[in-house]
């Protein structure tokens, strides 16, 4: 059984940097593509970005200037950083995995990030 364990700060002030990490247990980190999505309270799902097996990264255009996804394969971890957060970035953030040819198989349990002064 693969477990995606999310960690990171849940309360931020405007202009601060969001930093979340997803640690993978139970399978080879190198097998999958790793992604982040988010869901503002009461709203739908938004895809943020993904890092593939080769280290290539894609982001959704609306967030690209503020977001960085990275991976530390030695620790079976991947991370999301988002700079200059505002209240509009308040959301539950999920990490996920997929095999390159398929849709995401699994998401982590989610981290609620609240941006408030």
Partner 1 sequence: DIQMTQSPSSLSTSVGDRVTITCRASQGIGNDLGWYQQKPGKAPERLIYAASSLQSGVPSRFSGSGSGTEFTLTISSLQPEDFATYYCLQHYSYPHTFGQGTKLQIK
Residues that bind partner 1 (CB under 8 A): 35, 37, 44-47, 49-50, 58-61, 94, 98, 102-110
Q: Which is nearer to partner 1, 37 or 85 (CB)?
A: 37
Q: Which is nearer to partner 1, 16 or 92 (CB)?
A: 92
Q: What pairing do the DSSP bridges indicate for beta strands 77-82 and 18-25?
A: antiparallel
Question: First vs last Cα of the chain: how many Å apart?
Answer: 40
Q: How far is the CB of 23 from partner 1 (least distance, A)?
A: 16
Q: Which is nearer to partner 1, 16 or 39 (CB)?
A: 39
Q: How far is the CB of 103 from partner 1 (least distance, A)?
A: 3
Q: How far is the CB of 37 from partner 1 (least distance, A)?
A: 8
Q: Up-side HSE of residue 14: CA atoms within 13 Å toward CB?
A: 5
- Tokens encoding 86: 């505002």
Burial of residue 105 (CB within 10 Å: 0-12, 13-18, 19+) is exposed
């Amino acid at each position: 059984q693969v477990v995606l364990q999310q960690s990171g700060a849940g309360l931020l002030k405007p202009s601060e940097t969001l930093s979340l990490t997803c640690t993978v247990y139970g399978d080879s980190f190198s097998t999958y593509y790793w992604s982040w999505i988010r869901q503002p309270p009461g709203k739908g799902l938004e895809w943020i970005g993904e890092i593939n097996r080769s280290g290539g990264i894609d982001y959704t255009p609306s967030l690209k200037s503020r977001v960085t996804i990275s991976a530390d394969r030695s620790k079976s971890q991947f991370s999301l950083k988002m700079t200059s957060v505002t209240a509009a970035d308040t959301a539950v953030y999920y990490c996920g995995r997929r095999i390159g040819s398929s849709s995401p198989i699994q998401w982590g349990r989610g981290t609620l990030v609240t941006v408030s002064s």
